[in-house]
């Protein structure tokens, strides 16, 4: 009988104890694997979503809420801001680009974002089908939206007031889908994009810039895009060029995404905006670091719990093998009499520890990846957060190696005692 088969037979002789040891090792391993996969993927996703965004201008409030709502689209916006005031800052020589965002509606569980073509370009989102919007109430779907809804160019969808999808439906103003974006792995995949004019037209009455229904019937949709009918009733259509710009300056947006022309702007510009305007300036990189630190406190606690599980498993392995050694002293002495060497006896016990460690590591890795895959499928469907258990990190391999080493160390003391067993004395005591 080989040493491995002998070690396996010894483990099978105490199935409950062996299963308990493997289970403790597996649970500790799985917990750490889940934390590794989640922190790696969430960190990558959040970093990718902030690509090219140095600063966010929005309404006063929580800077973290502003970043979460406008960069990650995972919170409620802090409010609206005047477009003219935001543009005043983006015209600063320290700014390379400003991308406006208007939020407030959703459709079929996905947020509708009024913006410019610069927004999908920010994430290198190419068109998979159709074209970008060039008129009011035209929409382009992110890859995940198109996949989930089955909509394509030529189809229509109706938005609902609010980001939860439970608000009043804008049934009289459906969007016409004109394009679908290719997958990017970024937040844009989970959004419905349209022009700023679409959001203004639908919510015109709320901000004092829209039409009454009878005005829209009388003057048509083209005039709606240029300026509000409150001015048109007084001044007439011929004054459109004079008053159209003023009307647009009175428009509101939710936020302005800013890209610096030079990194030096990060030193002075946010402080100036917060001190000299009614706007709030929040740096996504800084807020992301804060958020990860907050989340990290919870992850540290879970890591500590996982390490306690692994330590408990190590002591359990030690206790089980030490107890087995005491019960098998006579058996080991007989093996020595039958020709087994001290080294072979010690090796058989070390192999038992190795088998327990390997079983715990493999089971823990499988359990951890399966957990992330299940959690990822739920979060992808309900929250649009892409997580998968189908990736392997280098840290996992190091973890598995460390776990096997822990099991070997736990079995080292019993193995060394077996090595030093006095055959004659042991046989005499068991005679």
Asked whether residue 268 falls in the same domain as residue 123, the answer is yes
Predicted confidence band at 424 (pLDDT cuts at 50, 70, 90)?
low
How many structural domains are present in the chain?
2
Please check whether residue 243 lies inside any domain of the structure.
no
Same-domain pairing of 274 and 300: no
Give domain status of residue 225, yes or no: no
30 and 87 housed in the same domain: no
Domain range for 164 is 55-209+250-282
What lies within 8 Å, CB to CB, of 286 at 6+ separation is: none
Do 374 and 276 belong together in one domain? no
Answer yes or no: do 22 and 123 share one domain: no
Average pLDDT over residues 364-373: 93
- Sequence-distant (6+) residues with CB within 8 A of 194 are 112, 113, 114, 115, 133, 137, 138, 139, 140, 175
- Among 282, 304, 339, where does a domain finish? 282
Tell me what pLDDT residue 288 has.
Answer: 82
Handedness of CA 183, 184, 187, 193 (dihedral sign): negative
CA distance 346 to 88: 78
In 3D, which of 149, 111, 100 has the Cα closest to residue 258?
100
Average pLDDT, the chain: 80
d(CA 195, CA 211): 18
pLDDT in tens, 2-61: 778 877 887 787 788 888 888 888 888 888 898 888 888 877 877 788 888 999 999 999
How many residues does the structure list for the chain? Answer: 431
- pLDDT at position 339 is 65
Strand, helix or coil for residue 115? strand
Q: What angle do CA 218, 107, 192 make, to 5 degrees?
A: 90
Using DSSP's 3-state secondary structure scheme, residue 93 falls into: coil
Of 396, 365, 321, 384, the C-alpha closest to 185 is 384
- Same domain flag for 396 and 312: yes
Q: What is the pTM of this model?
A: 0.69
Q: Are strands 191-195 and 138-141 parallel, antiparallel or unpaired?
A: antiparallel
120-161 pLDDT, tens digit per residue, is 999 999 999 999 999 999 999 999 999 989 999 999 999 888
Query: Which tokens hold the place of 14?
Result: 């105490």
Residues 88 and 14 in one domain: no
Count of beta carbons in the 10 Å neighbourhood of residue 164: 10
Residue 228 lies in a domain: no
The answer to whether residue 244 sits within a structural domain is no
**pLDDT 10s digits, 158-216:** 988 876 656 677 788 899 999 999 999 889 999 999 999 999 988 774 443 433 333 33
Tell me which DSSP letter residue 164 carries: S
Would you state the torsion angle of the CA atoms of residues 200, 252, 262, 290, taken in this order, to the nearest 10 degrees? -100
Q: What distance in Å separates the CA atoms of residue 262 and residue 96, rounded to the nearest whole number?
A: 8
* Same domain as 314, residue 347: yes
Assess if residue 233 is contained within a domain.
Answer: no
């Amino acid at each position: 009988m080989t040493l491995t088969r002998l070690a396996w037979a010894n483990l099978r002789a105490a199935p409950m104890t062996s299963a308990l040891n493997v289970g403790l090792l597996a649970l500790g391993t799985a917990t750490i694997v889940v934390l590794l996969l989640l922190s790696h993927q969430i960190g990558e996703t959040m970093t990718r979503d902030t690509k090219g965004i140095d600063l966010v201008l929005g309404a006063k409030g929580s800077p973290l809420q502003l970043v979460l709502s406008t960069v990650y689209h995972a919170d409620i916006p802090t409010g609206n801001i005047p477009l003219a005031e935001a543009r005043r800052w983006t015209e600063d020589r320290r700014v390379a680009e400003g991308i406006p965002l208007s939020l407030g509606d959703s459709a079929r569980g996905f947020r509708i974002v009024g913006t410019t073509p610069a927004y999908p370009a920010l994430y290198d989102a190419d068109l998979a089908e159709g074209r970008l919007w060039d008129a009011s109430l035209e929409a382009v779907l992110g890859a995940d939206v198109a996949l989930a809804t089955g909509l394509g160019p030529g189809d229509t969808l109706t938005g609902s007031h609010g980001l939860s999808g439970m608000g009043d439906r804008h049934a009289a103003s459906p969007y016409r889908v004109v394009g679908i974006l290719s997958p990017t792995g970024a937040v844009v995949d989970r959004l419905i994009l349209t022009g700023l004019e679409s959001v203004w037209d639908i919510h015109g009455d709320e901000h004092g810039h829209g039409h009454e229904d009878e005005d829209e019937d009388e003057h048509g949709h083209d005039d709606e895009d240029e300026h509000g009918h409150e001015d048109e009733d007084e001044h007439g259509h011929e004054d459109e060029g004079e008053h159209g710009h003023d009307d647009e300056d009175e428009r509101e947006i939710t936020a302005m995404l800013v890209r610096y022309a030079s990194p030096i702007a990060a030193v002075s510009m946010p402080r100036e905006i917060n001190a000299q305007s009614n706007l709030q300036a929040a740096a996504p990189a800084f807020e992301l670091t804060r958020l990860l630190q907050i989340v990290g406190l919870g992850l540290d606690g879970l890591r500590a719990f996982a390490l306690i599980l692994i330590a408990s498993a190590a002591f359990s392995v030690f206790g089980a093998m030490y107890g087995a050694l005491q019960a098998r002293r006579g058996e080991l002495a007989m093996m020595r009499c039958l020709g087994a060497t001290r080294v072979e006896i010690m090796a058989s016990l070390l192999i038992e520890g190795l088998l327990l460690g390997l079983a715990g590591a493999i089971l823990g890795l499988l359990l951890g990846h399966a957990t992330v895959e299940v959690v990822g499928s739920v979060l992808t469907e309900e929250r649009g957060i892409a997580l998968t258990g189908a990736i392997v990190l280098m840290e996992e391999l190091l973890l598995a190696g460390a776990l096997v080493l822990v099991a070997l160390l736990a079995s080292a003391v019993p193995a060394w005692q077996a090595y030093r067993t006095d055959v004659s004395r042991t046989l005499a005591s068991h005679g």
